[in-house]
Amino acid sequence: MKGSESKKSNIEYTGKLAKHQLYAENTYMEYAQDAYSSYQNYLYKRALYGLSAFTQQELAQMCSEKKKRITNVYVKGQRVINKLKQEITIKYSNLVFKTLFPNSPITAYLLKDNATDQSFKNTLTFKDLNISKEDIITIFIAEGILPKNFYSITTDPNALPRLKGK
């Protein structure tokens, strides 16, 4: 036993793992926490993912009108996101052309046209374009996809107990 204990105490990590020695005290992982309430996340996911944000059980209990409203909001959100992605892509490509080919006639032609195309689907990821959750929430609020008071909402107003009418 004594020999195995001394072997354990002689193990030492170097490089990136030096901070995480075996049997180290006060080691913990710190995870990024979402600043939004569960209802805010629900609204965000419903707008971003549409009906796929729900379980099969939730979809079975949902009326067709609600499904239609969620789908309409989702489609509008996807159009807005696609436009945002195209604008960012155009901005990046213009920067590349201006930097690499500043005096080229092709660059002048490309810089003149900054229009987006609704029929084109931009498949780049949010990570590739450096689009954060906050960016999407901000543009969704501006476009009316999320409510104007999104940042102050903490609970579902429809989940509150209602007074019974006479």
Q: Which pTM value belongs to this model? A: 0.71
Q: Which residues of the chain have pLDDT under 70?
A: 1-32, 157-166
| 19 inside domain | no
68-113: per-residue pLDDT in tens? 999 999 999 999 999 999 999 999 999 998 999 988 888 888 888 8
- Give pLDDT, residue 6: 47
Domain that holds residue 68: 36-154
| 51 inside domain | yes
- Give pLDDT, residue 2: 52
- Give pLDDT, residue 110: 82
Distance between start and end Cα atoms, the chain: 79
| 28 inside domain | no
- Give pLDDT, residue 156: 73
Q: What is the domain count for the chain?
A: 1
- Give pLDDT, residue 44: 95
Secondary structure, 3-state, 125-162: CHHHHCCCHHHHHHHHHHCCCCCCCHHHCCCCHHHCCC
- Give pLDDT, residue 16: 60
- 153 within 8 A of 39, measured Cβ to Cβ: yes
| 25 inside domain | no
| 26 inside domain | no
- Give pLDDT, residue 21: 54
| Long-range contacts from 138-143, C-beta under 8 angstroms, 24+ separation | 139/80, 139/81, 139/84, 140/44, 140/47, 140/77, 140/80, 143/76, 143/77, 143/80
- Closest CA relative to residue 62, chosen from 46, 76, 48, 75: 46
| 71 inside domain | yes
- Closest CA relative to residue 146, chosen from 96, 94, 77: 77
| 147 inside domain | yes
| 23 inside domain | no
